[in-house]
Structure 1
Amino acid sequence: MKTYDTTRILRWVFGLQLVFAAVLLSGDLIRVLPQIAFPSSAPELTQPLGPGDQTRRYDPSDITPRQARPGSRPIPVTEDMPSRLLFEYVSWNNEPTVTITGQIGAGDADRFLDFLKDNQTTPVQAYLNSPGGSVQDALAIGREMRRLEMNSAMTASDICLSACPYLLAAGMNRTVEDGALVGVHQHFFGENTALPAFLAVEDIQRGQGEVMAYLDDMGIDPLIMQHALVTPPDEIYLLTPEELERYGLVGSTAEVAPE
């Protein structure tokens, strides 16, 4: 009868775990080291835009909400941007309204569905103020907004960056006041750095394809992605009012997107 050296097997398993840990750590370092060694020299987010000068530094954890003018927003802007989405229900201009504020975290799509279930009246509009976050959750929230035929809106003090524009795109009617900041950049789609490179690339391509299909469903020109694909994650490309109109992020959509 064959016997096994338990100690040797445990050492082998432990060694294998160390190898995987090293691969994961090295993948993360490879991803962030260029940003540490060569930080963005772009202007701060709040610096005025100029012709051809639309790229700004981006750090979602270091964004301070801008002060709103009195009476311009359903709920006053807080001093700190929430670390995950905060949903608040109000009646605004005699219409049931939800304000969506903060970073988009993993699981926020499920939290949004729970929020809707807890409120007997379905909001007809959503006010957005978010630096972005989880792409998959943003797409899921956006599809639910479109299914309910909600409108999306931003006041002059609001921001909608990174994955947040997918929420803006979901509105049947989309309104962005002058002064609001809407920006796009490259996304990570949760690819596993321990996978072979070709599988990671495949995961990224699949994610980009899903985003482009979503934009098409929402009636948004997928060419908006040309700005996102050339802007690194530590920077953000701010869209001009003309670009917002050209790509369809302001205006209306005649039909509800297919489920």
Structure 2
Amino acid sequence: MKNRPPPLPDSAEPSTQAAPRWPASRMLRWIFGLQLVFAAILLGSDMLRVLPQLAFPSSAPAITQPLGPGDQTRRYDPAQIDPRPARPGTRPIPATTDMPSRLDFVDTVWDGQPVITLTGQIAPGDAARFADFLTTVDPAPTQAFLNSPGGSVQDALDMGRQIRSLGINTRMTATDICLSACPYLLAAGTARSVADGALVGVHQHYFGENTALPAFMAVENIQRGQGEVMEYLSDMDIDPLIMRHALLTPPDEIYLLTPAEMDSYQLTTSQ
């Protein structure tokens, strides 16, 4: 009969007890507290972004004030910009109501050619809506009339690439505006026309929503966004020096380009 090893002392026996667990109520309180911390961080980052503008609002003239040499910066608030009544016979769809909070797409015939009008703010998701809209337009449009105070940069870039891929010309009449992200739509036209009196303006952009990211990651996102814009302008044969005015103009102001500047940056083309 084989010898059995002596039994282990009680203190050396393997434990069969499970690790202590937090009560469900304590776990829920901890998760809720963590959510409050993240919400406070997000709110704080948003406040840091807008407080300077609230404390020191722009003293620039209203956007409706006439331009002068070296006097091209105007106050910018997309919620306060309404369409200017179109002059008879200059635009397929006269704009006489409030500026839509997201792009309104209309296809029609103008001077015997199929055209589309894009009116309103560029909201997130408008690029996908625009792609769906284009599938319903037959025959394909030859021109796109623009009238927008701007909005989502990424959607504007995506829509611009769609416009260029279809060989559509972009056009603005004398009472149209194209501000903030809208000039990227203008830049997409195979041919680009801006009538005297139209307002085309650029400024600094936000890229994506604020998140609780370290500062270096936030800067990286901004740099990535600017790089994408520069690549887009190059693909559209636009002089990237146009970004100089955008980078020097805060988000609550807009730098209005003169006809000579638009021509020098190739934002407009000879018709």
Q: What is the TM-score normalised by the length of structure 1?
A: 0.96
Tell me if 1:151 matches 2:169: yes
RMSD (Å), alpha carbons: 1.1
Cα pair 1:172 1:252 within 8 Å, conserved: no
Work out the CA distance in 2 between the residues paired with 1:167 and 1:156: 17
Tell me if 1:3 matches 2:20: yes
Cα pair 1:159 1:182 within 8 Å, conserved: yes
Instruction: Return the letter of the residue paired with 1:2.
Output: A
Q: What is the TM-score normalised by the length of structure 2?
A: 0.92
Cα pair 1:191 1:204 within 8 Å, conserved: no
Deviation at 1:252, TM superposition (A): 5.8
List aligned pairs for 1:165-204, cutoff 5 A: 165-204=183-222
Runs of at least 4 residues off by over 4 Å: none
What is the CA deviation profile of residues 31-68 of structure 1, one whole-angstrom value per residue up to 9, with x for unaligned ones?
A: 00111000000000010001110000000011011122
Work out the CA distance in 1 between the residues paired with 2:185 and 2:74: 21
When Rg is computed on C-alpha atoms for both structures, the one with the higher figure is: 2
Work out the CA distance in 2 between the residues paired with 1:202 and 1:247: 27
What is the CA deviation profile of residues 146-191 of structure 1, one whole-angstrom value per residue up to 9, with x for unaligned ones?
A: 0000000000000000000000000010000000000000000014
Deviation at 1:69, TM superposition (A): 1.1
Work out the CA distance in 2 between the residues paired with 1:34 and 1:110: 34
List aligned pairs for 1:163-242, cutoff 5 A: 163-242=181-260
Work out the CA distance in 1 between the residues paired with 2:270 and 2:128: 27
Cα pair 1:84 1:105 within 8 Å, conserved: yes
1:94 to 112, 123, 130: 112
Work out the CA distance in 1 between the residues paired with 2:214 and 2:140: 45
Which stretches in structure 1 are left out of the alignment for 5+ residues?
254-259
The structure-2 alpha-carbon separation of the partners of 1:36 and 1:147, relative to structure 1 and needing over 3 Å to count, comes to same
Identity %: 70
Work out the CA distance in 2 between the residues paired with 1:232 and 1:157: 25
**Alignment-derived partner of residue 268 in structure 2:** 250
> How many equivalent residue pairs?
253
